Structure 1
Amino acid sequence: MRRLLAASVAVSALALAGSAHAEGECGSTSAGWNAPNGAVVFDRGPGPIRDVLDAVGEYRTHSMLSHGPGASVTHATMNTPSQASWPGVCTKPMQGNDLRYGYPGLQQVNQGGIYMYMYGNGVGPEWTGWQQGDPAQAALIGDSIWYNHPFVTDVSRHDGGQTIDRPVRNGYRVNYSLFQYRDLQSAHQTPGDAVNSGMVCSTFMAYAHSYAGRGVVTPYTYSHAQIANASNSLYTGVYNQCKQSLGWFTNALLTVACPFYNVCGNAGNQVANCMSANMCDSSDSRYWKSVRDDPNATARSISPDRVGGWGVHPINNTTWGPDYSHQLQWNSGGNVYGCWQ
């Protein structure tokens, strides 16, 4: 989750060349993590998703399915959306399709890849942990996704010698869809489906739980007051990242490129529109504000905290929930090179 808007951009007044963050995509780890097969690994990292979850009183920002100490990992994530072309970037900073159909989406990477995903940007999460619950039941979840689920294999965008497996659903690659935070639809069920052929990290974990026959993870309904607060926080978070040249906007000379436009406001509107109304091509604030200001509007989703049974969420909703958070350590040995996209 936290990778959204987590890369750098170079902007000039004459041309804009959108590119993904190349630094920290591939690398090695000298030791693998200690999370058992089928455990869910959580972290808390920076970014717009954290702004949303903080606004509704939740803590964890990302969840991943471990296939064992030092083994591969299955999770759903999103890279930086590419820039819109000049001069449209001034009014609509991001490519709408990149924002709606987040890449890489659902993927399986090795320990080198997941280490670079978590720490390759030089910052890393402020907290990590894992929960397993019943070892046998958790292992069934890990094994079902690893051994039984259909997948396709892609070549890494950053190292042509590396491949990344991507589980498919209903015959299609699974994208990362911001709209899942507003309405997960039936993404958590088997076979299930959702707009944009999408999931996020925690709705994938719920799907894996169902796919392994461990039961349906029930969603949570967020009140109108909560989603109004979350909408405001999302817009403000993206806007502030832009104004302070943080995250995706590092080194972006937006005021030089677009001196007569509120580019940072447009960026905030575009992301808020995508999450609240699936209107990822527009920076018109009326879309997300119409949801924010509708007293009947709510959200129905599954968050990382709900997967782990924390806060207001019941511990018996998942196999992992009854467990406490164990410290994530990188101590299983080995030197593994890999890429996360």
Structure 2
Amino acid sequence: MLAFWVLLLAGAAAQRPVIISTDPGIDDSIALLLALASPELDVRAVCINFGSLHNTSQLAQNALDILALAGREDIPVFLGATDPISQPFHDLGGPKFHGTDGLGGVRLPHSRATVNTSVSAVEFIVHACRSWQPAPLLVSLAPLTNVALALNLDPKLPERCPDLFLMGGTVAAPGNVGPMSEANIANDPEAAARVLSAGFNTQVAALDVTMASWLPPKFLASLRDLPNDAGPFIWQSTRFYERAYETIGGFEGGMPLHDPTTLLLYLKPELYQLHRWPVTVDTSQYPSVSRGILVVDRRGGPKSPPPPDTDKVHFPMQVDVAGVQEFLLSRLRALPAGRLQILSE
């Protein structure tokens, strides 16, 4: 408890308001808990976007229950995009990695809170970017449909909310739903193309760094001993995730750190080496094998001039894995035990 309040007092003066667009599956849950445990961040809203499941009502319930687990039922949850902006939804295998409920079959006590239906997630994003000072940090852990639709409502969104951190794509690493395509981008390439060309100051947690930030079985097992229910919940839900990576992906124990890396890029940037490159998105028609690929232009040597200022897409390609594990564990440990609910059996 003391560690949490020390962190809270240290970061209170510099808190950044945050809006998180997410499709709460297993790694999204870890990212949400990390954000809630970080005093640098003031999580103001969770906006639901289809992705790991097509059922956004289930995803919204997951978000509500995770917020309740951390004692934050005060944070509103808004429903957002239920389908891609211009193409039919195609199941890319999300339930195989997250389970049919998105949380690997782990049952949490249902939150007393309900979805905020006063406005849509997209409308909320636009309103917040127009009215909040300081401008919120936009974090996308899902397909970029919510952000693309917000851009349609307000093309000046990158001027109002310039900073966008997202998980998606791959630069040089193998893809996870195609040879070079990643699920968040491939679920709505047209939305990704719209957002990545809009002029946000964007940092992209691509598979190159999220797969390198591998959490071994020993680290995951250590979460069971945290002095709160966040660790045991993560431990239980990641049993499904880890088995999926073993049986489907052919990996031997452990799991990648996809969505939490997006938050870590903001919270602990010294753990990463960033590169700024031009990028476009392949929007070939489904089922083209190239659909959803990020085309990243890495030509040139170390003395080449940087891309134009209008190109503000940054990719981390190197990571201090030990530093990531140490920081993540310390933040999850700092969640106050007394405010968390007991998991259902």
The TM-score with structure 1 as length reference comes to 0.29
Larger RCO (CA under 8 A, 6+ residues apart): 1
- Which structure features the higher share of helix residues? 2
